[in-house]
Amino acid sequence: MLKIKIVGIVFVALLVIVMTGALWVSQRSSTLSQEPVQNTGQKYVRPTRLPATTTGGYIISTSAVTSVNELHAKGFSALVSVSDTGFEPRTITVNKGATIRFFNNSGASVHIAASGDALYPGKSTCGASAFDSCKALTKNDFWEFTFAVSGTWTYQDTATGHQGTVRVN
């Protein structure tokens, strides 16, 4: 009889520990630190947690964002993943006013900047276009940019030369 009571107490203690840990993890994973950058519609974001997998600009995860509505609630409309082989997707179409989050999944730092003949209008503090991350993004860093001007805008990782295109309706 005493053994049954001890097993019951141990079981309850383990359950409390597991539930406390789960609560701590869920609270920690929803916290993002943000470092605003002037008034250009840009933000640098360092996630405390990496999405499980990204492909084609959509997040596939059992615990991160699971719907388009949640994407909008988190402040961005689309996701572009930067991998060792380039931008995924290479071409993305969004509506005017949409914010794209560029997430560095590569093994190296990346610097995202407008490229081509028709640069995105406006100037940043570091480049010829407002569409410039102005710093290298290390592995697992985010950078967000809000597209307020319609058009087709090309960009590149200045370190590797990988290119991508944003079409803004």
For residue 142, pLDDT beyond 80: yes
CATH class of 33-168: mainly beta
Tell me, what amino acid is at 117?
A: D
pTM: 0.59
d(CA 38, CA 124): 9
Q: Which letter does DSSP use for residue 132 in this model?
A: B
Q: What is the pLDDT of residues 6-41, one digit of tens each?
A: 777 777 766 667 666 655 555 544 433 333 333 344
The C-alpha atoms of residue 129 and residue 149 are separated, in whole angstroms, by: 12
Residue 46's pLDDT band, with cuts at 50, 70 and 90, is very low
What is the distance, to the nearest Å, from the Cα of residue 54 to the centroid of all Cα atoms in its chain?
10
Q: Could you give the percent of the chain with pLDDT greater than 70?
A: 62
| Distance between CA atoms of residues 157 and 8, nearest Å | 58
3-state secondary structure of 149: coil
